[in-house]
Amino acid sequence: MLAIIGGTGATQLGYFVRHHRRVARTPYGETSGALTFGEIDGQQVVFIARHGFGHTIPPHLINYRANIWALADIKVRRIVALASVGGIRPDLAPGTLIVPDQIIDYTWGRPHTFVTEGDKPFVHTDFTRPYDERLRQQLLAAAHDAGEPIFDGGVYACTQGPRLETAAEIRRIAGDGGDMVGMTAMPEAILAREAGLAYATLAFTTNWAAGEGGNTERVALNTASEQSNEALERILRILRQLVDTSKKAAVEQA
């Protein structure tokens, strides 16, 4: 089953048919909200609103462990994480869709692992390639089939939030190799890896990062909201194509 982590708007378009919601109880506390079960073109999908259904949970207070544990518990196999980002690289202008392939983690204080002290020896988790490559390629193919231009690869710099970055911080991130900046990739990605789930991000640029693209004095948040609304339809077309391709592959294998 496919899981989608993102904003509440993703469940409000016609492609997604809601069936029911289920409150998930986990060893790590409450999830961001009830799991929303439904379907896209007849294929079962589960959705979780990362920031809560009222968009009330800031990025540094999201219970990432509960969210990922709940999805693993219902036997989800793939997670597509939707993420709004600020563009740093010159070609990642507002309105751009990206499937990143690397992460730099600037967050702190977030519970970032399921590994805790216990009776069994712990194991290290390889994170050389933080995103599942097969799922990344499936997203890129789905975008191509849906006729949606998209960038293959890029470094997602994950900052703490909820404040936006200073222009100096963005210059530092750019120097570190960051192409886009957001606040939710970590620890979401590593927790999915620890849980054995295929995880990839479908990112959309809502604005230029601080100090970039003419944002010398302030980040234009009003345009960010407009870009988010415009991107949602495009994202849903890609997800619909992803589900349709998976359905055809399942039929062929049967």
For the stretch 174-224, pLDDT in tens is: 999 999 999 999 999 999 999 999 999 999 999 999 999 877 778 876 665
pLDDT tier at 231, thresholds 50, 70, 90: confident
Within 20-99, residue ranges assigned H as helices are 64-73
Q: What distance in Å separates the CA atoms of residue 211 and residue 214, rounded to the nearest whole number? A: 7
Higher confidence at residue 158 or residue 236? 158
**Which CATH superfamily does the domain covering 2-108+129-253 fall into?**
Nucleoside phosphorylase domain (3.40.50.1580)
Q: Considering just the CA atoms, what is the radius of gyration of the chain in Å?
A: 18
pLDDT tens digits for 108-137?
999 999 988 776 777 899 999 999 999 999
Q: What distance in Å separates the CA atoms of residue 99 and residue 19, rounded to the nearest whole number? A: 29
- How far separated are the first and last CA of the chain, in Å rounded? 17
> Residue 138: pLDDT above 90?
yes
pLDDT tier at 8, thresholds 50, 70, 90: low
What is the distance, to the nearest Å, from the Cα of residue 201 to the centroid of all Cα atoms in its chain?
Answer: 4
Which pTM does this prediction carry?
0.92
The pLDDT value recorded for residue 14 is 62
pLDDT tier at 173, thresholds 50, 70, 90: very high
The pLDDT value recorded for residue 254 is 46
Helix (H) / strand (E) containing 143: helix 133-145
| Cis peptide preceding 187, ω within 30 of 0 | yes
